[in-house]
Amino acid sequence: MTDELDQLKAQFRAEKDIRPRPAAKAAGIEAALARYDKIFSKRSQGTARGLRLIERVRGLIRGSTKMHGLKLSHGLMAGASLAVITLVAVNSGLLREAPTLPSTPSLDQESSTIPEPTTLEKKDEPAKTAARQAAGENEALKDEEIEPAFSAPKVTAESDAVSGYLQKAPSSFAVTAPADERQIYYQDQGRDKFTDIQTNPVKIARDEPVSTFSIDVDTSSYSFVRGSLNQNVLPQKDAVRVEEMINYFPYDYAGPADRAVPFKANVSVFPTPWNADTRLMHIAIKGFSLNGQEKPKSNLVFLIDTSGSMDSPDKLPMLQNAMKMLVETLGPEDTVSIVTYAGSAGTVLEPTKAKDKAKIIGSLDRLMAGGSTAGAEGIRQAYQLAEQSFDETGINRVILATDGDFNVGITDPEELKSFIERKRDTGITLSVLGFGRGNYNDEMMQTLAQNGNGNAAYIDTLNEARKVLVDEVSSTLFTIAQDVKIQVEFNPDTVSEYRLIGYETRMLKREDFNNDKVDAGDIGSGHTVTAIYEITPKASKAKLNDELRYGAQNSAAVTGADEFGFVKIRYKLPGEKTSKLISQPVKVS
C-alpha cells in the first residue's frame, strides 16, 4: 500500500537531473526585479544623474557574468546576494530620513484667550425687599457687585520645534506639594539655655595665693560654638567656655609609665602671646591608655528623648546614627538597653548583648519623635534597667541623648541633681549627648553630667559623633581616675597677680581640695586635660593693682625663692574612697 508521499518520492527518484532549469530560474528573477522596479519606480534612488540603482544592479549582474565567464546560475546567486544587500541599504537610508512633522498652528488672539468671568450680581432676597418697601423706602434697590474670584490669565499655544529627529523637550516647571503633604519639622524657638558665667577675675597673689578647681573634660562648648558659626550665627556669650575650647583637641603630652599612677602632670611656663609682660603657666595631664584586653565590660542604657522637639534632621535622625556608631564599637559581651521618654517613659529594648547588633539597631530604627517630654520618669526607668543588669567589675552607665528640654517631671535642677548623686554612689554614672539648636538646655545637661560622674558632648555632625563615640570611646566610657582636683599655691615673692583662664563653672573652695566627699571631674582612658593661668611676675609693669601704702609687708619665704608656685593634684582610683596626692613645684626658669 502506497500513499501520495511515496508516489512523490518515486517521481523524484525517476528524474535524473533535479537541478532547477536555468531558463526558468532566469525568468523568475527577471519577474521579481520587474515587480520591485514597478513598486519603487516613483522613489528616487542614488544620484539625480545616471541610471537608477536597480538598473545598476542589473548591469552589474550581467556584466560580471560575461566578463568572468561564470555560469548563469553562479551569476544569479551573486546577483541575488547583491540585491538583498542593496535593499537593506536602501531601506536603511529611508529610515534615516528626518520625518517632516506638521507644525501646530498658533492660536489667534481671540481663540487663545479665556473669556473674562462675568461679573456676578447678588439680588436682595424677596423678603428683604418687601420689608424695605413696607418701611417706606422708595429708593430703588441696586444690585451689589461682587469682585470676581479670580482673574483668568491669557493662554497662548506655541508650536513645538523639531531639531534633528527629536522633538524639543518641554520647559521645566515647578510642582508644589499640597500643604498637608509637606514634611514639617519642629521649628527651633531660640530657647537655648546656658549657665551664667562670670569671667575669673585677676587676683593678687599676696591676698589670695591659693586657687582650687575641678578638672573639666567636656567638649560640648566647642562643637556648639562651631555649629553656630557654621550657620553664620554668633553663639551666646555664656556658650563659650574657654577650657572646653582648649580641651577639645588632643595633645601629645607625656603619659604615665604604668597603670599604678593613672596620669602624669606636666607643668611649664611660656611667654604670653598677647602680653609680653606676663607669662602663661601651663598645667597638662595625660591619662593612662587602656588596651583592648584591659577594658572592662560595659552595661549601657540609652535614654533617648523622643519628644516632639526632637523631630528635626539634626536631632533624632542624627541621634540614631550616632548610637549605631557606638554599638559598633562594643564587645560581644557588653550589654545595651534602650529607654525612651515622650509624655510617658517606655522600655524599647530590654538588656541585650551587643553581639545581637541587628536587634539593637532595629530598635533604634523604629524610634519616632512625638509628645511632650517626661525626662524625670525616663531617668528613673533607665536607672532601673542599669541596676537590673549591673556588672560589679564593669562600666555601668546611662547615656542620655536629648536636646536638653525637660517639660514634665523633675524640672528643678537641684532636685534632679540630688537624684543623680544618689545613683552615682551606687556605681551607675551618667553621660549626656546634646543635639539640635534653639531648644538646647546646656545648663541642665552640665548639671546632670557633672553630678553623674560622666561627661557632656554636643553632637552637631556625624563627624562629631564619630569623634566622641568611636575615636574617643575609651576616654568617654572607661574611667581611670575620679574626683580629680587641682590646687595651685602662688609665691607672692615672684608672682604679683594671676588669673585662671576658664573653669568658671568648676571652681572649688580652698578647703574642698582635701575633702574627699566633694565631687570633682573624672579622667578617662587616654584623656588629656589642659589648664592655663596667666601670671604677672613681681617686677612686671603689667600689674593691675598697686602695692598698699599701709599694708603689712611679709618677709620673703625661706624656701621657693626660685619658684612661681606649687601645683598639687588629688585623685581617686576607681572604686576607692580615699584620694591620692601628686605635687610638684613650678620653677621660675
Average pLDDT, stretch 274-299?
89
Domain coverage including residue 390: 298-477
CATH of the domain at 468: 3.40.50.410
Asked, for residue 49, whether it belongs to a domain, the answer is no
Q: Which of 356, 215, 348 is nearest to 286 (CA)?
A: 215
Kindly state the percentage of the chain with pLDDT values over 90.
42
**Distances from the Cα of 251 to the Cα of 214, 266, 284, 364, 526, angstroms:** 20, 12, 9, 35, 10
331-335 LR contacts (CB < 8 Å, sep 24+): 331/295, 331/297, 331/298, 333/297, 334/297, 334/298, 334/299, 334/300, 335/297, 335/298, 335/299, 335/300, 335/389, 335/391
Q: Are residues 226 and 359 in the same domain?
A: no
User: pLDDT at residue 273 above 80?
Assistant: yes
- Render pLDDT for 400-429 as a digit per residue (tens, 0 to 9): 998 876 653 466 767 778 888 899 989 999
* pLDDT tens digits, 11-21: 767 765 666 67
- Distance between CA atoms of residues 140 and 389, nearest Å: 90
Cα–Cα distance for residue pair 145/563, rounded to 1 Å: 96
Q: Which of 116-125, 285-294, 535-544 has the lowest mean pLDDT?
A: 116-125
* Band of pLDDT at residue 189, cut at 50, 70 and 90: low
Query: Is 53 within a domain?
Result: no
pLDDT for res 36:
75
Final residue of a structural domain among 427, 443, 477: 477
| pLDDT score for 333 | 93
Question: What is the average pLDDT across 299-312?
Answer: 90
Asked which of 477, 507, 532 is the last residue of a domain, the reply is 477
Do residues 332 and 444 share a domain? yes
3-state secondary structure of 285: strand
Count of CB atoms situated within 10 Å of the CB of 466: 17
What's the grid cell of residue 225? 560654638
Q: For residue 541, give the 3-state DSSP assignment.
A: coil
Q: Same domain for 256 and 327?
A: no
Residues 430-443: what's their mean pLDDT?
Answer: 88
Q: Which residues sit opposite 279 in a β-bridge?
A: 271, 535
Q: 496 and 374 in one domain?
A: no
Residue 165: which pLDDT band, with cuts at 50, 70 and 90?
A: very low
pLDDT attached to residue 496: 95
Same domain, 453 and 414: yes
Residue 73 lies in a domain: no
- What is residue 71's predicted lDDT score, i.e. its pLDDT? 43
User: Measured between alpha carbons, how far is 33 from 41 in angstroms, rounded to an integer?
Assistant: 12
Residues 572 and 503 occupy one common structural domain: yes
Q: Which residue has the higher pLDDT, 416 or 90?
A: 416
Predicted local confidence at residue 113, as pLDDT: 44
Q: Which of 126-130, 171-175, 191-195 has the highest mean pLDDT?
A: 191-195
Is residue 397 domain-shared with residue 334, that is, in the same domain? yes
Three cell numbers written together for 317:
535622625
Average pLDDT, the chain: 77
Q: What is the CATH number of the domain that holds 511?
A: 2.60.40.1230
What local confidence, expressed as pLDDT, does residue 240 receive?
94
Q: Is 250 exposed, middle or buried, given 0-12, 13-18 or 19+ CB atoms closer than 10 A?
A: middle
- Tell me if 233 is assigned to some domain: yes
Per-residue pLDDT band for 506 (boundaries 50, 70, 90) equals very high
Residue 349 clears pLDDT 80, i.e. is over it: yes
pLDDT class of 589 with cuts at 50, 70, 90: confident
Kind of pairing between the strands at 203-204 and 210-214: unpaired
Residue 18: what pLDDT?
60
pLDDT at 388: 94
> Does 535 have pLDDT greater than 80?
yes
pLDDT confidence of residue 199: 94
Contact 250, 244 (CB under 8 A): no
The count of other CB atoms within 10 Å of the CB of residue 170 is 7
Exposed (0-12), middle (13-18) or buried (19+): which is 60, by Cβ within 10 Å? middle
For residue 336, list its beta bridge partners. Answer: 300, 352
Mean of pLDDT values over 361-386? 83
**Pair 230, 278 in one domain:** yes
Q: Distance from first CA to last CA of the chain, Å, rounded?
A: 132
> In terms of pLDDT, which residue wins out, 483 or 98?
483
304 and 427 part of one domain: yes
Segment 440-469 shows an average pLDDT of 90
Residue with grid cell 474670584, as numbered in its chain: 149
pLDDT, one tens digit per residue, over 34-80 is 877 777 655 544 444 445 555 554 554 454 444 444 444 444 444 54
Give the pLDDT of residue 431: 93
* Pick from 465, 344, 448, 361: nearest CA to 404: 448
Helix, strand, or coil here: 76? helix
The pLDDT value recorded for residue 437 is 85
Say if 74 falls within a structural domain: no
| Domain finish residue from 437, 462, 477 | 477
Specify burial of residue 443 (Cβ count, 10 A radius: 0-12, 13-18, 19+). middle
17 in a structural domain:
no
Do 512 and 445 fall into the same domain?
A: no
Is 511 a domain residue? yes
Would you say residue 368 lies in a domain? yes
Of 443, 354, 366, the closest CA to residue 395 belongs to 354
The answer to whether residue 375 scores a pLDDT higher than 70 is no
CB-based contacts of 431, cutoff 8 Å, min separation 6 = 397, 398, 399, 400, 449, 452, 454, 455, 456, 457, 476
Q: At what angle do helices 316-329 and 357-365 cross, to 10 degrees?
A: 170
Mean pLDDT of 152-173: 39
Q: Which residue has the higher pLDDT, 103 or 29?
A: 29
Is 434:304 a contact under the CB 8 Å cutoff?
Answer: no
Residue-level pLDDT at 484? 95
Cell of 553: 609687708
3-state helix, strand, coil in the chain (%, to 5): 30, 25, 45
User: Measured between alpha carbons, how far is 216 from 514 in angstroms, rounded to an integer?
Assistant: 18
Name the pLDDT band for 513 (thresholds 50, 70, 90).
very high
Are 392 and 498 part of one and the same domain? Answer: no
Of 327, 306, 343, nearest in space to 435 by CA:
306
| C-alpha cell, 205 | 597673689
Q: Which of 91-100, 193-202, 252-261 has the lowest mean pLDDT?
A: 91-100
Residue 257 has pLDDT above 90, yes or no: no
Handedness of CA 15, 18, 20, 23 (dihedral sign): negative
Residues 464 and 409 in one domain: yes
Q: How many domains does the chain have?
A: 2
